[in-house]
Amino acid sequence: MGAYILRRLLLMIPTILGIMAISFTVVQFAPGGPVEQVIAQLTGQGGDATDRITGGGSDLGGDDIGSSIESGGGGNSKYRGAQGLDPEFIADLERQFGFDKPPLERFALMVWNYARFDFGDSYFRDISVIDLIIEKMPVSVSLGLWITLLSYAISIPLGIKKAISDGSTFDTWTSGIIILAYAIPGFLFAILLIVLFAGGSFYDLFPLRGLVSDNFAQLSWYEKILDYFWHLALPLTALVLSAFATTTLLTKNSFLDEIRKQYVTTARAKGLGENKVLYGHIFRNAMLIIIAGFPAAFISAFFTGSLLIETIFSLDGLGLLGFKSVVDRDYPVVFGTLYIFSLLGLLVSLLSDLMYTWVDPRIDFESRDV
């Protein structure tokens, strides 16, 4: 097993390099980079980028920007909208964002820094990328962790019950409810929850903003727990809908496939009780496919599945951070989060394979090629 783990860890290196290389290449051809973002704001299309670029951490002051606009020039600039700006100012912007170096050199420098977990600073925020991720992490950890635990805790027992009662009234009605739940988009259900229970048109029972209350620090330990779950109640309910439906049907079908196999008939013929057959023989085989889907479910809920929910419930997490970073062309944040999430996804996938051997010791990865 040690050799298998080592091979998998070594294979992560070219996988990460490939992901970063493809993403870096795509970015080179994407219009509207950070330099263009600043130019667009400076030429009268908004003021946010100008405020951020002249804030802390920038070498370009407001006086420099004003004089650069007044000095004219930039007629032959490669950046769209740069006419009227001083070429020296454009060069300063390129140096600040690192675009004064060739693409290959920038990619090599990024890989070297990321290998040392040095992700640099955000272009438009006066904070390092790693500190920014840590700042947004509590929301995503809360949503991703609890949604994964809830979906598995509900779906696995329900899926087993549906498999045992296949074709019964219980199975028919629950299947209808599950299909309906799967068909409803999570963000629409979230809006319905707000209308019903968060001060929309009916009841005002749950908060609509933040992960905790403003007076969270003054609460006792048990009041903090209650306050935390009070804020999470509606977002988790909206998120669990589709995850709950998918995992339940997957569990049911997996158990049905195993129940019909010959070894189950043999076990029953030997006089084993139904629970012994179900949990002693069927369970570990049927759960393999559920375990195989765990990394994808976890990563999806943790990092990508909560953007709309975070927006609707005013939760400032990693999903919203990633979306804003792409829109703003904040490349250090985009590439930093991509690197961290890809690495974590590969590690969780390895953990999933190791869980295979725990559920079913007959599986031996050592005797297989990776």
Q: Which domains, ranges and CATH numbers included, belong to the chain?
A: 31-118 (no CATH), 130-367 (1.10.3720.10)
Residue-wise pLDDT tens digits, 281-317: 788 778 777 776 666 666 666 655 567 888 888 888 8
Residue 29: predicted pLDDT = 72
Does position 79 have pLDDT exceeding 70, yes or no? Answer: no
Q: Could you tell me which residue, 368 or 279, shows the higher pLDDT?
A: 279
Write down the mean pLDDT value for the chain: 78
| Paired strand residues for 128 | 121
* CB count in 10 Å sphere of residue 56: 8
Give the pLDDT confidence score for residue 138 in this predicted structure.
Answer: 83
Taking residues 144-173, what's their average pLDDT? 87
- Answer whether 321's CB lies under 8 Å from 139's CB: no
Residue-wise pLDDT for 97-147, tens only, equals 777 788 888 899 999 999 888 888 888 788 899 999 888 888 888 888 888
C-alpha angle with apex 53: 125 to 58, nearest 5 degrees? 85
Q: Are residues 120 and 335 in contact, defined by beta-carbon separation less than 8 angstroms?
A: no
Separation of alpha carbons 192 and 183, rounded Å: 15
Q: Is the backbone of residue 74 left (phi > 0), alpha (psi -120 to 50) or beta?
A: left
In this prediction, residue 16 has a pLDDT band, given cuts at 50, 70 and 90, of very high
DSSP-derived secondary structure letter, 42? I
Mean pLDDT of 24-48: 70
| Statement: residue 67 has pLDDT above 60 | no
Do residues 48 and 56 lie in contact, with contact meaning Cβ atoms separated by under 8 Å? no
Q: Exposed, middle or buried: residue 345 (CB in 10 Å: 0-12, 13-18, 19+)?
A: buried
Distance CA 103, CA 228 (A): 46
Q: How confident is the model over 258-287, as pLDDT tens digits?
A: 888 888 888 888 888 878 888 877 887 787
For residue 21, the model assigns a pLDDT of: 92
**Distance between CA atoms of residues 143 and 123, nearest Å:** 27
- The secondary element (H helix, E strand) that includes residue 228 is helix 221-259
Whether the pTM exceeds 0.85: the reply is no
